[in-house]
Amino acid sequence: MSRLIRIICFILTVVIVVPSILQARETARVKFHNGKLSVTFEHTPLIQALHEIATSTGTDFFVDHQLQGEINIHFKALPLDEAVSRIFSHYDYAAFFGKNQSGGYRLTKVKVFRKGKQVTAKYDKIPGSGYTTTGKIPGRFGSTAASGAAAATSRATTGTDINPASSDPRGRILGEIVSTEHSIMVLQHKDEAERQILHSRISRIQQILSIPENDKPENLDQLKILEGQLARHKEVNALMTMNAQSNLLQLQKELSNIQVSKQQTTIISKRKSAPLEAGNHITRF
């Protein structure tokens, strides 16, 4: 009888306890708190990893349908823009920012694509479900409905859906150019605002340290932390700006190629029609 009880207990442990432990490990892979992102991914499919990040942060991701691969990355408490630049360091991507209710800036959308395919790629949309206007996620992953939406199959979309200005390739490219130029402008404002805040904090600590009795290790440590944050902020913002400028140059090149191609087609068409017009003139004469 006791052996049967042990067997039953073992089965219950395997069926109930082990899945709970695994689930806890699974959900702990992404943490977003006070605007800082922590992730631990090992051989995780790209789409699955972005589902978890989107659900936690409220950022929408658009992923080139033909992009595959796995993510192996680990970091703790990074600002979201820095986290994105690290996650996609080996991908081509475009990041878009918007203002939040407090007047600051937050990452609203990221597009990941093959080189030169920003406009023509078909995208899987991964919505940032569960995000609220206060920037807080209810619970760990938002409401049940939000979690279900994030876990649902991605909807295939194209560049036209993101910038639905025109089905004409030139119209789509122009739409992307406008969005990218706006993104660069926002990055510049964001950089200036955040630098002012950090410089103000550094100046305040320096004033405190200028008083002999305040020359304490904790104040010196705080100064070093702020100076480190400023240096890291400059580096990340420079990377994000360079990435956006590179995307802009590529888009302008694509637009130029389309315009040249259209001009060449027009010239060839005129040359083909010219002999017919001459022939008709002779016949009428």
In degrees rounded to 5, what are phi and psi of residue 137?
-100, 120
Q: What is the H or E stretch that residue 76 is in?
A: strand 70-79
Q: Is the torsion defined by CA of 5, 11, 12, 14 positive or negative?
A: positive
Residue indicated by tokens 């030169």:
116
Distance, in Å, from the CA atom of 50 to the CA atom of 110, rounded to the nearest integer, reads: 10
Q: 224-232: which pairs have CB atoms within 8 A and are 24 or more residues apart?
A: 226/198, 226/201, 226/202, 227/202, 229/198, 230/195, 230/198, 230/199, 230/202, 232/82
pLDDT in tens, the chain (285 residues): 566 666 666 665 555 544 544 544 444 589 999 889 999 999 999 999 999 999 999 999 999 999 988 999 999 999 999 999 999 988 999 999 888 777 778 889 999 999 888 888 899 999 986 444 333 333 333 333 333 333 334 444 544 444 444 567 788 899 999 999 999 999 999 899 889 999 999 999 999 988 888 888 888 999 999 999 999 989 999 999 999 999 999 999 888 888 766 666 666 666 666 555 545 544 444
- C-alpha distances (whole Å) from 255 to each of 97, 161, 167, 172, 176 are 24, 19, 14, 10, 11
CA angle 221, 80, 182 (to 5 degrees): 120
Q: Residue 52: CB partners within 8 Å, gap ≥ 6? A: 29, 30, 39
191-221 pLDDT per residue, tens: 998 899 999 999 999 999 888 888 888 889 9
